Amino acid sequence: MCGSHPRPIISPSVLASDFGQLSSEVQRMMDEGAEWVHMDVMDGHFVPNITMGPPVLASVYKTVPNVFMDCHMMVADPAAWVKPVAEAGGKSYTFHIEALTDPAKAHEVVELIHSTGMRAAVAISPDTPSSAITDALGNSVDMLLVMTVVPGKGGQKFIASCVPKVAELRTRFPKVDIQVDGGVGPGTVGCCAKAGSNVIVAGTALFGAENPKSVIQDFKDKIEEGRSSWGTEKALEGL
């Protein structure tokens, strides 16, 4: 677990980028002020789609060595890809709790991730309750990811009913980074930030923006504004 005051972090999802120029798209978002870049890895099993794997991550890392690759692993076997992703330059590794046949084994995956030096994160899909994240698991990771769309593709509509899970997790884990991913944009970031999210993933809203820098700044401002509601009854106001 890192830090005592979760800071605003913006992580543009490359799913909405031009994959033919992936490295320059990654560099562009870093130049616009993004701290991280969100790499959506899909294996065709955990989700139907296939995107990229460690060789592509390694190519990006070679061209943009200072990139912080926030790897969202939508894969059926999370443990199998930990070392290849670390070797490819991944800095954060998020796995889905739904991918484990025995969720009690999640701590083993977390330990494996940490043994490579990467940050560890665990994700919950819209149908998974926040109670799937036990106190022990939440306190062992660096970040929790609350999906606000069904994982699998970009450009979907934000599912507001996922936001109370952010508030519940923020109450239990005041110091852990909490990420939201899916359909997040200028109109939806505010409720996520108020509920407790400090790490914002956005694909369409950033890669499609005329001025990504101002959208990134707006997201960060919303997180700072939302912070005072964390853990209070205001967290879900107006939802």
Q: Is 40 in the site for ligand DX5 (CB under 6 A)?
A: yes
Closest to Zn ion by CB, 50 or 225: 50
Query: CB of 12: closest distance to ligand DX5 in angstroms?
Result: 9
Strand order in the sheet with 199-202: 9-12, 199-202, 177-181, 143-147, 119-124, 90-96, 69-74, 37-42
Closest to ligand DX5 by CB, 35 or 172: 35
Q: Can you tell me which residue has the tokens 């330059």? A: 89
Residues 67 and 207: their CA atoms lie apart, in Å, by: 17
Report the residue from 72, 165, 170, 220 that binds Zn ion according to the rule CB under 5 A. Answer: 72
Q: Which stretch binds Zn ion (CB under 5 A): 35-43, 78-86, 192-200, 213-221?
A: 35-43
Residue at shortest CB range from Zn ion:
72
Query: CB of 193: closest distance to ligand DX5 in angstroms?
Result: 15
Which amino acid is it at 213? K
Instruction: Tokens for 1, please give them.
Output: 């677990």
Q: Is 96 in the site for Zn ion (CB under 5 A)?
A: no
Report the residue from 6, 9, 13, 162 that binds ligand DX5 according to the rule CB under 6 A. Answer: 13
In the residue annotation, 40 being an active-site residue is answered as yes
Report the residue from 28, 38, 96, 222 that binds ligand DX5 according to the rule CB under 6 A. Answer: 38
Pairing of strands 37-42, 69-74: parallel
In the residue annotation, 181 being an active-site residue is answered as yes
Which of Zn ion, ligand DX5, none lies near 156, with the C-beta cut-off 5 to 8 A by kind?
ligand DX5
Phi/psi of residue 103, each to 5°?
A: -60, -20
Q: 200-226: buried (b, 16+ CB within 10 Å) or exposed (e) per residue?
A: bbbbbbbbebeebeebbebbbebbeeb
Q: Among positive and negative, which fits the CA dihedral 63, 67, 72, 78?
A: positive
Closest to ligand DX5 by CB, 4 or 161: 161
Residues 184 and 51: their CA atoms lie apart, in Å, by: 20
- With 0-12 CB in 10 A as exposed, 13-18 as middle and 19+ as buried, what is 237? exposed
Q: Which stretch binds ligand DX5 (CB under 6 A): 104-112, 129-137, 176-184, 189-197?
A: 176-184
Report the residue from 70, 141, 181, 229 that binds Zn ion according to the rule CB under 5 A. Answer: 181
Instruction: Tokens for 69, please give them.
Output: 């690759």
Q: Is 217 in the site for ligand DX5 (CB under 6 A)?
A: no
Residues 166 and 68: their CA atoms lie apart, in Å, by: 24
List residues near ligand DX5 by CB under 6 A.
13, 15-16, 38, 40, 72, 149, 151-156, 181-184, 201-205
- Give catalytic residues, as residue numbers: 40, 181
